[in-house]
Amino acid sequence: MPRLYTVAILGATGAVGTELIQLLEERHFPVGELKLLASPRSAGQDLTFKGETLRVSPVDERSFDGVDLVLASAGGSISKAWADQIVAAGAVMIDNSSAFRMAPQVPLIVPEINPEAAATHQGIIANPNCSTILMAVAVYPLHRVQPIQRLVASTYQAASGAGARAMEEAKTQSLAILQGQEPQAEIFPYQIAFNVFPHNSPLNSLGYCEEEMKMVNETRKIFAVPDLRITATCVRVPVLRAHSEAINLEFATPFNVAQARDILSQAPGIKLVENWQTNHFPMPIEASGQDDVLVGRIRQDLSHPNGLELWLSGDQIRKGAALNAVQIAELLHSQGLIRPTPVSTSVTV
């Protein structure tokens, strides 16, 4: 009998949750039984997996009985509320929130970078922040060849980063403006349509927002370089899906541009997009729905002899969230780090 798992998706009705369902099917993850869980408000919806209609159930104390793997994407407070229950049930939780990312005993994993960390898990593995993942995939191949001395990131983050309701708000605001009406902001603090504003997460005493500090601290942990010099400025832009980032890298010595281009063209999870004749480089409309991070416009930094510039676009919902989580699950499966359950090959409701 093939090794199959009972998998639960916590937060199944959200933008990342529905993407997780799709990716489990697309990538043929060995699911024997799939449990779809959400808050009581979202429970009762019907979603489809492998041609079967599954009812979303409200999460409760018995939801994780017999579950091997939990893919959690319902927010930090929900993850914290159910983590002990999940681990006590013998399941592994891959958590997409920020709840456990910086906990010393919890691995923070991007499979293209630090897959070996999976073996150290104690029942919980953290999925990094979306902007961190996209940046890390793009710059780590260069860091492996020549360690980065300093990294400066500027993000251009789509509405998708704030969830499905934020994406709908971007659409309705755009339509309202085009019809001469006043746009209403409910999910975002300001108008997102035809506007940009610094990321709306809370600010610390130094003036850095939470999103920026996630990029700083999480990158240090993933790279295992606790003193890496890194700074970020995160901005919301009127794009529906897929984030973009401008990255400036400083090395100890010059990094040949042609060598950098060759390294990135062969790196896993990256697609090189550069047409200098037509000025065609990564764009969010082309990155949307794609697994790879699109990287291009690789060039020498004119202001520093050891500097390198690059530009990227990546699907925040896929590689920035759901895909990375499923890749971690695949990693656990390949290494025998998930408890197998002898279930039938049919999907049950």
Q: Which residues are annotated as catalytic?
A: 130, 243
Cβ atoms within 10 A of the Cβ of 187, count?
16
Which residue do the tokens 């950098």 mark? Answer: 260
Beta carbons of 110 and 133 less than 8 angstroms apart? yes
User: C-alpha angle 29/33/36, rounded to 5°?
Assistant: 95
DSSP assignment letter at 74: S
- Paired tokens of 198: 């610094």
Count H helices and E strands in the chain, helices first. 8, 15
* Torsion angle in degrees (nearest 10) through CA of 39, 77, 190, 166: -40
Give the separation between CA 37 and CA 181, rounded to whole angstroms: 38
Give the separation between CA 196 and CA 219, rounded to whole angstroms: 25
**CA 43 → CA 59, 82, 106, distances in Å?**
9, 17, 30
Q: What is the DSSP string of 159-207?
A: GGGG-HHHHHHHHHHHHHHHTT-----SSSSS--TT--EE--SPB-TTS
Cβ atoms within 10 A of the Cβ of 53, count?
10
Beta carbons of 227 and 219 less than 8 angstroms apart? no
Q: What is the DSSP string of 76-128?
A: HHHHHHHHHHHHHTT-EEEE-SSSSTT-TTS-B--TTT-GGGGGG-SSEEEPP
211 Cα distance to chain centroid: 13
Q: Is 18 helix (H, G, I), strand (E, B) or coil?
A: helix
